[in-house]
Amino acid sequence: MPNSASAKRLETINDELAFIRTESLATVVQRELERMILNGEVPAGERINENMLAGKLSISRGPIREALRKLEQAGLVESLVNRGMFVRKITLEEALNLYEIRAVLAEHAGEKIAKRVTDTDKAILVEFVDRMEISAEKQDLETYYPINLEFHTVLMDLTGNPRLSETYTNMDNELQLFRQRAMLTPEGLKTSNAEHREIVERILSGDVQGAGAAMKYHVVAGKERGQLAIEK
């Protein structure tokens, strides 16, 4: 029989393994919930049903609660006292404030990218814009939007500044539902991707100030499209 020290060590190992499994599951759940929210499958203002998710994913509620905690930190969900967790609704004022900050970050990011981008990076950016162009022509928002999100993530990664990338991406996520509504206009996808192409062309040519200006313009134009969509 194992002595008390061995038994205690075995208990500790089991606890650590359980923690790792929970953390891994929470990460998987977080990504799936984030995908559902950002794609509009779970709309703003809707309550997150933990029991339903637990049954659907065949897991306990622990990893779901941990995933929701992280999504709350990212600004995608909010906890309402005695009511549960809900997909966050962003007011017009909140969105405009986020756009204001995002525009400044975007200009700085564009300038940094144009200074340090490689030929391989350039080819990747061109491919993204070409892929979005195909979806825009078809008015295929479901295909376009995940590519759009990845494109902006890659752009921020190319700044070489992880904190800048994280801050910008979190703002992007918070603005997602607001921006998605603006994209549903007939020319929304084409207009947005034309701005993407202008950004990439400035980066390809090494135009530091132009790349920054193009990225800032994309954010400001997105804000204006969002305002118009809300007013209609």
Tokens 């990011």 correspond to what residue?
109
**144 CB-contact burial (10 Å; exposed 0-12 / middle 13-18 / buried 19+):** buried
Length of the chain: 232
For the stretch 58-68, pLDDT in tens is: 888 888 898 99
- 194 residue type, one letter: A
Q: 190-215 as b/e, with b when 16 or more CB fall inside 10 Å?
A: ebbbebbbbbbbbbbeebbebbbbbb
* Coil vs helix vs strand at 93: helix
Find, among 59, 60, 77, the residue nearest to 68 by Cα: 77
CATH of domain 92-231: 1.20.120.530
For the stretch 67-86, pLDDT in tens is: 999 888 888 899 998 899 99
Between residues 203 and 78, the one the model is more confident about? 203
Whether this prediction's pTM lies above 0.85 is answered by no
Architecture of domain 4-87: Orthogonal Bundle (1.10)
Is 50 exceeded by the pLDDT of residue 16?
A: no
**Distance separating alpha carbons of residues 102 and 65, to the nearest angstrom:** 30
Domain coordinates in residue numbering, the chain = 4-87, 92-231
For the stretch 96-140, pLDDT in tens is: 999 999 999 999 999 999 999 999 999 999 999 999 999 999 988
